[in-house]
């Protein structure tokens, strides 16, 4: 008896489903309606911040420990007016940059020396003399380095080219905090180590005397950092 | 024993349900496929109707000449009536489908007009979302194609409209776009020109599709990398850090049965030498269910014998 009941139930179910599907197929055949497709996107994040203290030269420079002890004063070089100064034994980093942001686009970080100028007073007895050494990513550039750097003009060009070469590109979502900031610095050696044979105490003294007489040699150095989206 | 019997009953029931589902699905599919059957209302009958002329009839009967003049054996001509068999026209069954390469649209269907990541011509990823959201940025672009198809057996009149807008309202987004139909009709922009967002927002078209025919449209959008306003692009990118600046595109389609059920329009789809109905799948399911039923029957009989 149970078995017959199950079979009967299954048969009834089968008939019901067949009737239902007949109805459904007719309903599908009459289906006419509208349809819509939609999509949206948000603007990709940029949010890059580059900051720099903008200080390439100083008015005061700290002396060595021995000098401090000898003069009982921290600074071995101090400007007497509003001018910032350079002198034998002074040095400073020219690229103190800090970055923030993680753009959702690929980008390039460019460094560029927008201004590097050495005026006409870098001379002794009418002969050009500039003992300033520029270091870019550990590579030193100075007059007499090689046959390509023989005077101020070629020195300036070599330093500018070296700074441009350290520009780099990054994938989307790379935090700018991980960007390698190239080290660019200048130095006037106290002792002629690198510029042996070119730099000398009498020549350095002559430049100092010219400055005291109001004909100071001047140096201008500006480094710019630009972050640009890559296409 | 009872436990085994009860278990078998449930198994029987499950098998029957499976078979019923297979049958139901087959019925549904056959119902949909019937609209694609060829219309043979214009077919020519294989056996033509023949009329007998008087001379031919006389030649087959021997009648004296005198009597032949007074009588004639003429096969009665068939009544002048239409003998062609014209089957009754099938009932009107309109059907409409909007789709792209990957999906059929329903209402507010998410489609792939924008992307999470973009590459340049060298295959380098230049834009990539950090959270899976779809993005736009200077230098990004994309093309999206969609199809409108008459899946029924009567002509349809359709309308397609584009809604394009920026959120928050008033954001000066320098994105451009264009919309074209397969036959070269431009609804926004031109072959060498992209339109601004308001022009894209106003894009619309109407048309007619005959039964079984289709039409398709291509939507392009572009945020120019060099648009002469880097300051604006940078401002938008910086603003996007804290707020979502959204660009939305909605494509709406509506279809209704034409007044003339045979109105022309649309592209004739290529002839399919075979449909894509997966008979093998359904046949396999049916065979599996029958096999299972047979196995269970044998098992049940053995159990009865042991009892």
Please answer yes or no on whether A34 and B30 come within 8 Å at the CB atom: no
pLDDT average, residue stretch B233-246: 96
Greater model confidence, B7 or A136: A136
pLDDT, residue B255, reads: 94
Q: Is the previous residue joined to B234 through a cis bond, with omega within 30 degrees of 0?
A: no
Distance from CA of B115 to the nearest CA of A (A): 8
Look up the CATH number of domain B96-257. 2.60.40
Distance from CA of A26 to the nearest CA of B (A): 7
Please answer yes or no on whether B98 and A35 come within 8 Å at the CB atom: yes
Instruction: Pick from B128, B144, B251, B258 the residue to mutate for testing the A interface (most A CBs within 10 Å).
Output: B128
How many angstroms separate the CA atoms of A27 and A22, rounded?
9
Q: Which residues of A touch B146 (CB under 8 A)?
A: 37
pLDDT, residue B83, reads: 47
| Helix, coil or strand: residue B155 | coil
Instruction: Name the closest residue on chain A to residue B13, using Cα atoms.
Output: A10
Q: Which of A30-34, B105-109, B179-183, B231-235 has the lowest mean pLDDT?
A: A30-34
pLDDT, residue A27, reads: 43
Kindly tell me if the per-residue pLDDT of B277 is higher than 80: no
Tell me if B20 sits within 8 A of B12, measured CB to CB: no
pLDDT, residue A148, reads: 93
Kindly tell me if the per-residue pLDDT of B79 is higher than 60: no
- Sequence-distant (≥ 6) Cβ neighbours of residue B196 within 8 angstroms: B176
pLDDT band at B299 (very low <50, low <70, confident <90, very high): confident
Please answer yes or no on whether A42 and B240 come within 8 Å at the CB atom: yes
pLDDT band at B70 (very low <50, low <70, confident <90, very high): very low
**Structure ipTM:** 0.72
What are the extents of the domains in chain B? 2-33+278-306, 96-257
Greater model confidence, B45 or A40: A40
Greater model confidence, A192 or B150: B150
With residue B69 as reference, give the H or E element that holds it.
Answer: helix B65-70
pTM of the model as a whole: 0.67
Please answer yes or no on whether B237 and A44 come within 8 Å at the CB atom: yes
CA-closest candidate to residue A119, choices A187, A206, A218:
A218
A4 lies within 8 A of chain B by CB? no
Chain centre to alpha carbon of residue B145: 15
Chain-wide mean pLDDT for chain B? 80
pLDDT average, residue stretch B28-47: 52
Side-chain-side CA neighbours of residue A80 (13 Å): 3
pLDDT, residue B279, reads: 74
| Helix, coil or strand: residue A38 | strand
pLDDT band at B33 (very low <50, low <70, confident <90, very high): low
Tell me if B226 sits within 8 A of B173, measured CB to CB: no
**Cβ neighbourhood burial of B207 (10 Å; 0-12, 13-18, 19+):** middle
Strands, E, within chain A: which ranges?
34-43, 49-52, 60-62, 75-78, 91-93, 97-100, 107-118, 123-124, 127-128, 132-136, 139-141, 168-170, 184-188, 219-229
CB pairs under 8 A between A and B: 207
pLDDT band at B74 (very low <50, low <70, confident <90, very high): very low
CA-derived radius of gyration, chain B: 34
pLDDT, residue B42, reads: 44
pLDDT, residue B45, reads: 39
Please answer yes or no on whether B20 and A20 come within 8 Å at the CB atom: no
pLDDT band at B47 (very low <50, low <70, confident <90, very high): very low
A25 lies within 8 A of chain B by CB? yes
**Cβ neighbourhood burial of A28 (10 Å; 0-12, 13-18, 19+):** middle
Kindly tell me if the per-residue pLDDT of B117 is higher than 50: yes
Q: Which of residues 128-147 of A touch B (CB under 8 A)?
A: none
Greater model confidence, B296 or A202: A202
pLDDT, residue B275, reads: 58
Q: Which of A5-14, B171-180, B290-299 has the lowest mean pLDDT?
A: A5-14
pLDDT, residue B276, reads: 59
Tell me if B98 sits within 8 A of B148, measured CB to CB: yes
Strands, E, within B41-155: which ranges?
96-99, 109-110, 117-119, 125-128, 135-136, 141-150
Kindly tell me if the per-residue pLDDT of B283 is higher than 50: yes
Low-confidence ranges of chain A (pLDDT < 50): 1-2, 25-31
pLDDT, residue B7, reads: 65
């Amino acid at each position: 008896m149970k078995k017959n009941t199950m079979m009967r139930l299954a048969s009834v179910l089968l008939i019901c489903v067949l009737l239902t599907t007949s109805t459904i197929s007719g309903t599908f055949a009459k289906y006419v309606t509208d349809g819509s497709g939609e999509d949206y996107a948000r603007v990709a994040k940029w949010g890059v911040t580059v900051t720099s203290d903008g200080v390439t030269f100083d008015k005061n420079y700290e002396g060595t420990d021995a000098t401090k002890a000898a003069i009982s004063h921290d600074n071995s070089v101090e400007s007497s007016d509003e001018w910032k100064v350079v002198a034998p034994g002074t040095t400073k980093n020219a690229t103190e940059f800090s970055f923030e942001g993680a753009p959702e686009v690929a980008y390039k970080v460019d460094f560029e020396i927008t201004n590097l100028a050495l005026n006409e007073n870098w001379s002794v007895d009418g002969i050009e003399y500039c003992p300033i050494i520029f270091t870019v990513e550990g590579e030193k550039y100075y007059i007499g380095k090689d046959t390509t750097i023989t005077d101020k003009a070629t020195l300036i060009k070599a330093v500018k080219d070296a700074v441009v070469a350290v520009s780099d590109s990054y994938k989307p979502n790379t935090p700018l905090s991980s960007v390698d900031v190239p080290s660019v610095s200048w130095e006037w050696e106290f002792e002629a180590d690198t510029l042996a044979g070119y730099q000398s105490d009498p020549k350095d003294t002559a430049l100092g005397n010219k400055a005291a007489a109001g004909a100071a040699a001047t140096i201008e150095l500006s480094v710019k950092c630009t972050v640009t989206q890559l296409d | 024993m009872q436990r085994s019997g009860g278990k078998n009953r449930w198994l029987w029931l499950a098998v029957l349900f499976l078979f019923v589902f297979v049958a139901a699905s087959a019925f549904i599919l056959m119902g949909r496929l019937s609209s694609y059957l060829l219309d043979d209302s214009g077919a020519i009958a294989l056996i033509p109707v023949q009329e007998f002329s008087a001379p031919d009839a006389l030649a087959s009967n021997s009648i004296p000449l005198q009597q032949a003049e007074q009588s004639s054996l003429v096969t009665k001509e068939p009544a002048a009536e239409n003998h062609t068999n014209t089957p009754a026209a099938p009932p009107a069954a309109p059907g409409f489908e909007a789709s792209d390469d990957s999906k059929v649209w329903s209402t507010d269907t998410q489609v792939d007009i924008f992307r999470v990541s973009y590459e340049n011509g060298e295959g380098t990823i230049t834009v990539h979302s950090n959270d899976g959201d779809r993005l736009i940025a200077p230098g990004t672009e994309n093309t999206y194609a969609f199809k409108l198809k008459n899946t029924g057996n009567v002509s349809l009149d359709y309308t397609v409209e584009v809604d394009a807008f920026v959120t928050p309202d008033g954001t000066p987004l320098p994105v451009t776009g264009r919309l074209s139909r397969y036959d070269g009709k431009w609804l926004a922009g031109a072959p060498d020109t992209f339109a601004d967002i308001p022009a894209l927002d106003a894009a619309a078209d109407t048309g007619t599709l005959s039964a079984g025919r289709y039409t398709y449209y291509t939507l392009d959008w572009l945020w120019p990398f060099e648009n002469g306003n880097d300051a604006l692009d940078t401002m938008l990118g910086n603003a996007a850090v804290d707020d979502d600046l959204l660009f939305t595109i909605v494509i709406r389609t509506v279809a209704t049965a034409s007044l003339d059920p045979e109105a022309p329009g649309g592209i004739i789809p290529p002839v399919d030498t075979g449909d894509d109905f997966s008979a093998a799948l359904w046949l396999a399911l049916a065979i599996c269910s029958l096999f299972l039923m047979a196995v269970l029957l044998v098992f049940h009989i053995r159990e009865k014998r042991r009892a």
